[in-house]
Amino acid sequence: MSTKPAIGFCGLGAMGMGMATHLVKQGYPVTGFDVWPPSLEKFAAAGGMPSSSLADSAKDKAFYIVMVASAPQAQPALFGDDGIVKALPKDATLILCSTVASDYVKSVEQELKDVGRSDLFFIDAPVSGGAGRAADGTLSIMAGASSAAFEKGQWLLEEMSAPKKLFVVDGGIGAGSNMKMVHQVLAAIQILALSEAYGFAVRLGLNGKDVFDAVVPSQGWSWMFENRSQRTLKEDYFPGASAVTIILKDTGIITYMSRRANFPSKLCSIAEQVYFSALDRGWGANDDAGIVRLWTAEPVSSITSSLSAEQKESALELVIDLLTGIHLVSAAEAISLAHHVGIPLPQLYELACDAAGGSTMFKQAGAKLIEILEGKDAGKGSVLGGYAEKLKIVVDKAQEIKCPLYLGSAALNALLATGPSLSLGALLDGYSVKQGSV
Amino acid sequence: MSTKPAIGFCGLGAMGMGMATHLVKQGYPVTGFDVWPPSLEKFAAAGGMPSSSLADSAKDKAFYIVMVASAPQAQPALFGDDGIVKALPKDATLILCSTVASDYVKSVEQELKDVGRSDLFFIDAPVSGGAGRAADGTLSIMAGASSAAFEKGQWLLEEMSAPKKLFVVDGGIGAGSNMKMVHQVLAAIQILALSEAYGFAVRLGLNGKDVFDAVVPSQGWSWMFENRSQRTLKEDYFPGASAVTIILKDTGIITYMSRRANFPSKLCSIAEQVYFSALDRGWGANDDAGIVRLWTAEPVSSITSSLSAEQKESALELVIDLLTGIHLVSAAEAISLAHHVGIPLPQLYELACDAAGGSTMFKQAGAKLIEILEGKDAGKGSVLGGYAEKLKIVVDKAQEIKCPLYLGSAALNALLATGPSLSLGALLDGYSVKQGSV
């Protein structure tokens, strides 16, 4: 008999399967539930205990992890008549790892009280890192909860996360989800940015491989660019590793929460409209790296460039300047939103610099933006004139070749709306965040 | 022999043909040039004198009108070796009616000096109103020039315009083009707005005819909506009356000039990206009312609505609120740009209220926006909270049904970026226009 505590687990999709089987490998007896029988079989084959009853998966479990796709899936799983909450024993620890709106996790906290289950130790703990890191137990986890709940459950979060990748976020329930949401602002914008950049590049007559080689060591680098390029360059979209519907779900949470907070998510909301248009093309289940097909029917790596060396260099510079400008504004958008919802900014910086939302511009400008918001830079920060001028040249060129730049043109508008000062502080003001207010 | 002066005319397209034949009907001897022989034949059949030589069309003409499609067409026609300027007699009046950037007409003024033709009386006089009004001599004309040039040529502008529809704009050469550009801000946004609104409506389950009937008497009315609906409801897009490439050309002038002026054309620039995507679909030569096909493959008037009366009413309200919100922000965008480039605001108001850029919101909010910019409303105007809340509900619903709202979401962001004040003044500030500055 195992000396390690039994764990219940709901949601054996790509992420959940990795997390649950990792725990099995660590010697935990894990009872896993899923509505899809083949997942249960796969879980059993990996040494887990499958359960076709939610209530059974929760019965007598001092620890329970929920990793379903969305709030509409979580709600009946948690609070249904045969659901998890009713079945959990007294003083159990319940961890919700799904990416959901912070409003939703707060409603779960309230509903636990309303149904008389205040005894449960509830943790809001969305994750990041993809299926590979889930299976390795090296996820990034952003967690918010009471200190009592962390005392009970932090060891389990540590089992699933990499060293230093468990971020305990101040603010209780909702803070983990808010941190994840803010991080996904970067992800949502930067995923579209790379397709826009490759699409623009193709229309400039560049080959995708040359673009990759030029962007990676440049100021235009982002984690998403480097990661998704592997699929863009091979047209590995069917189904690929991360469907359009996944980033669209996260984008939807961001823009929905932004509207509730009266926050203008300038780039994220335009990204969402373009993701909708990708859905309309029937690409929802394809990899998000395939959104470049909005710009080009030809594979980006099959373009035979007829540009001279000089023309090629100047075209590559335009692509880098496009990404740099977008990533700069995405940094301001994410950090402003973090400030708006009360996320600790240095923690966001630490997390995002080394995660899927990372970019060279986030590293560089992010630090300065945070100084301004924390009142440590009375001068309101660096001047953006150079970035605005470069992005203008990019948008001029795109206009000449009639290439849509949804993010590029919106990022330029955000820079121009800073007015004559063209300062980072004015860029933050454009997100209507006032210094010192939260 | 005619007692009326001879007129030279270059550019017998849809607009130019109407203008030139109208002058013929008024008894002027008009010599018309075009590069397209069938146009010359048509002009001859209408009583005009065709000329296959630009220089001949200008020789001995005390008055000359240029109505080509764009600056790249105008430049060689004017300044080529066998062009108009070389051939015109001393002290002739030269009127450029094409819609071009004000920078370009200023460059023409300068080049006339540089080539030693300061004797010519040059008038910058873009027109509006479509081919029908061109042929009737009832166009709106926005003209800028020296008072000496107006003394020479104003009578001819009056021949081509409706009573009270000749707008002599202060500011000399460039002022006419700037006025046209600012008016086209409204047109460019409102043309996309109606397709977005019909597309959203179809996805809400509404029939296009019901949308038309509900919007026309509502706050969501615009001239463009009422005009283009005639084609949208009949799918009369091939070729229709106004190609996507035409509004795209004007939009391009607006955004290009805006970038030069550091002006964030928030809605116009997203409209441009969507027009580019329509080009990508191969719709450039189709009527702009057909952009609704980005949202629906089915004709909007063929939708059989299964909504209850109550559902229908609430869906129609969403569509009206969408248009109202977009038109409100488009009014702020146009008026801010007008202020930015020094266009007399009351004149813009008079012109646009009763022209293709007109909308109920422009009439209502436009007057207040102008008061604020002219310093007559120290309170910075009405509060926008109601509009923002309604538009939020619209964008929430669109998100739920995964319907892209490019303008709707950008307009909401512009409203939210006004911060807690939600005032018209803050909306103007978002366009970085400071009170009193020009």
**In chain B, what percentage of residues exceed pLDDT 70?**
97
Q: What is the pLDDT of residue B2?
A: 56
B437 occurs within a structural domain: no
CB contact under 8 A, B416 and A262: yes
Same domain, A260 and A137: no
The closest CB to that of B410, out of A270, A419, A420, belongs to A270
- The minimum CA-CA distance between B122 and chain A, rounded to whole Å, is 29
- Residue that is last in its domain, among A113, A144, A173: A173
CB contact under 8 A, A416 and B255: no
Q: What six digits make up the tokens of A10?
A: 């709901």
B17 occurs within a structural domain: yes
Nearest to B333 by CA among B112, B214, B185, B160: B185
Question: Which of the residues B269, B336, B384 would you substitute to probe the A interface, choosing the one with the greatest number of A C-beta atoms within 10 Å?
Answer: B269
Q: Could you give the CA distance from residue B360 to residue A67 in angstroms, rounded to a whole number?
A: 50
Tell me which residue range forms the domain holding B369: 178-429
CB B101, CB B177: distance < 8 Å: yes
| A135: CATH | 3.40.50.720
Same domain, A140 and A220: no
Regarding pTM above 0.80, the answer is yes
Whole-number Cα distances in Å, B94 to B14, B25, B51: 21, 21, 18
| Residue A347 sits at the chain B interface (C-beta within 8 Å) | no
Give the B window 274-303 contacts with A, CB below 8 Å.
Answer: 274, 276-277, 279-280, 294-295
Nearest to A240 by CA among A283, A197, A192, A281: A283
DSSP H or E stretch at residue A139: strand A139-145
Same domain, A422 and A322: yes
Tens of pLDDT along B13-47? 989 999 999 999 999 999 999 999 999 999 999 99
Q: Could you give the CA distance from residue B388 to residue A260 in angstroms, rounded to a whole number?
A: 11
- Counted domains in chain A: 2
Alpha-carbon torsion, ordered B264, B266, B271, B272, to 10 deg: 20
Contacts of A262 in chain B (CB under 8 A): 388, 416, 420
CB contact under 8 A, A255 and B399: yes
Residue A90: count of CB within 10 angstroms of its CB:
8
The closest CB to that of B402, out of A279, A295, A399, belongs to A279
Same domain, A166 and A223: no
The one-character DSSP state at A307 is -
Strands B49-51 and B7-10: unpaired
| A353: CATH | 1.10.1040.10
Residue A196: count of CB within 10 angstroms of its CB:
28
The closest CB to that of A399, out of B256, B406, B431, belongs to B256
Residue A2, pLDDT above cutoff 60: no
- The minimum CA-CA distance between B437 and chain A, rounded to whole Å, is 12
The ipTM is: 0.92
Q: Could you give the CA distance from residue A424 to residue A432 in angstroms, rounded to a whole number?
A: 13
CB contact under 8 A, B396 and A269: no
pLDDT greater at residue B140 or residue B2:
B140
Tens of pLDDT along A347-382? 999 999 988 999 999 999 999 999 999 988 766 667
Contacts of A388 in chain B (CB under 8 A): 262
Tens of pLDDT along A195-251? 999 999 999 999 999 999 999 999 999 999 999 999 999 999 998 888 999 999 999
Three-class DSSP category at A47: coil
CB B287, CB B237: distance < 8 Å: yes
Over range B155-180, report the average pLDDT: 97
Same domain, A117 and A219: no
Same domain, A57 and A193: no
- The minimum CA-CA distance between B218 and chain A, rounded to whole Å, is 26
CB contact under 8 A, B259 and A395: yes
Residue B1, pLDDT above cutoff 80: no
A127-131, A409-413, B106-110, B175-179, range with the lowest pLDDT:
A127-131
Over range A158-174, report the average pLDDT: 96
Same domain, A290 and A418: yes
Q: CB-based burial of residue B378 (10 Å sphere; 0-12 exposed, 13-18 middle, 19+ buried)?
A: exposed
The closest CB to that of B252, out of A294, A399, A412, belongs to A399
CB B99, CB B253: distance < 8 Å: yes
Residues 6+ apart with CB under 8 A from B378: none
**In chain A, what percentage of residues exceed pLDDT 90?**
90
| Residue B333 sits at the chain A interface (C-beta within 8 Å) | no
DSSP H or E stretch at residue A163: strand A161-168
Same domain, A251 and A159: no
**Tokens 């057909």 belong to which residue?**
B290
Contacts of B418 in chain A (CB under 8 A): 432
Same domain, A125 and A254: no
Q: What is the pLDDT of residue B5?
A: 97
Q: What is the pLDDT of residue A385?
A: 86
- The minimum CA-CA distance between A275 and chain B, rounded to whole Å, is 8
B438 occurs within a structural domain: no
Across the strands, what pairs with A96? A66, A124
Strands B7-10 and A121-124: unpaired
Q: Could you give the CA distance from residue B25 to residue A305 in angstroms, rounded to a whole number?
A: 55
Q: What is the pLDDT of residue B438?
A: 30
CB A215, CB A197: distance < 8 Å: yes
Q: Could you give the CA distance from residue B362 to residue B347 in angstroms, rounded to a whole number?
A: 14
Over range B114-125, report the average pLDDT: 98
Same domain, B272 and B332: yes
